[in-house]
Amino acid sequence: MIRAILGYAVLAIVGIIAIKLLFATLGIVWQLVWAVLWFAFLGFIFYLILKVISPRTANKVRDAVRGENRPA
């Protein structure tokens, strides 16, 4: 009887630790996803402003990001 109760208690503790580790890992992944989306948004806004101010430079930036080498 005591052995079964002790076994369930240990199982519960291991389960709680596993859930905490899982949620911590998901939290880190979630933060990385949002950081990448935020940087992509900032890059998009920068590119739009650059496109309005200097379209030729924006084309050069787009080609550099895509890896295309066009003769000038």
In the predicted model, residues of the chain with pLDDT beneath 50 are: none
In a domain, 20, yes or no: yes
pLDDT at residue 66, rounded to an integer:
87
Number of domains comprising the chain: 1
pTM, two decimal places: 0.63
Q: Check if the beta carbon of residue 45 is closer than 8 Å to that of residue 52.
A: no
CB-side neighbour CA atoms (13 Å) of 32: 6
Q: Domain residues for 39?
A: 2-66
In a domain, 33, yes or no: yes
In a domain, 22, yes or no: yes
Can you tell me the distance from the alpha carbon of 70 to that of 72, in angstroms, rounded to the nearest whole number?
A: 6
pLDDT at residue 24, rounded to an integer:
94
- CB count, 10 Å around CB of 59? 13
In a domain, 12, yes or no: yes
- CB count, 10 Å around CB of 62? 13
Question: Using CB atoms within 10 A of its CB, is residue 1 exposed (0-12), middle (13-18) or buried (19+)?
Answer: exposed
In a domain, 72, yes or no: no
